[in-house]
């Protein structure tokens, strides 16, 4: 497994894991509560920060455990990365329509912020899945 594929796996696991914990924590407060009173800003910022920090730490650990592979990339890695980023861009572009529509409808900020965060998560997940499939099935 190349270092780029390892990075992609780390990105998927951390991204999905952090998002699941965030949404489980915040959305569990929704039933029976006015969403305007739910404190979501700090938990969301914490989730984003933890996701970034965990990715950095785990990628450093992966590089330490396999130092020969750490900086090796080839043309295939670049093409796979490009394809994954294109797919992620399109998913984000489409998914961002939902929070935009919610903002235009003057829906509560809670829903706008959370659907935008979900759009970022879905884009990262789609991008990573495309990359992993490309690595596994060939490109």
Per-residue model confidence as pLDDT tens digits over 32-65: 889 999 999 999 999 999 999 999 999 999 888 8
Q: How far apart (Å, rounded) are the C-alpha atoms in residues 32 and 118?
A: 22
pLDDT at 73: 76
Whole-angstrom CA distances from 120 to 25, 31, 32 are 18, 24, 27
* Residue 33, SS3 per DSSP: coil
- What's the pTM value of the predicted model, to 2 decimals? 0.89
**Does the structure show a pLDDT above 70 at 139?**
no
Which residue, 7, 27, 8, is CA-closest to 19?
27
What residues contact 109, with CB distance under 8 A and at least 6 apart? Answer: 36
């Amino acid at each position: 497994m190349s270092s780029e594929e390892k990075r992609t796996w780390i990105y998927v696991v951390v991204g999905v894991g952090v998002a699941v914990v965030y949404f489980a924590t915040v959305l569990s407060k929704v039933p029976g509560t006015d969403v305007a009173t739910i404190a979501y800003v700090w938990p969301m910022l914490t989730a984003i920060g933890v996701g970034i920090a965990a990715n950095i730490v785990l990628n450093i650990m992966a590089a330490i455990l396999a130092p020969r592979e750490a900086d090796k990339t080839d043309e295939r890695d670049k093409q796979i990365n490009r394809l994954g980023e294109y797919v992620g861009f399109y998913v984000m572009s489409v998914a961002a329509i939902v929070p935009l529509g919610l903002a235009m409808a003057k829906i509560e900020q809670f829903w706008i912020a959370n659907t935008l965060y979900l759009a970022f998560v879905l884009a990262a997940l789609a991008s990573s899945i495309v990359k992993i499939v490309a690595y596994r099935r060939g490109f």
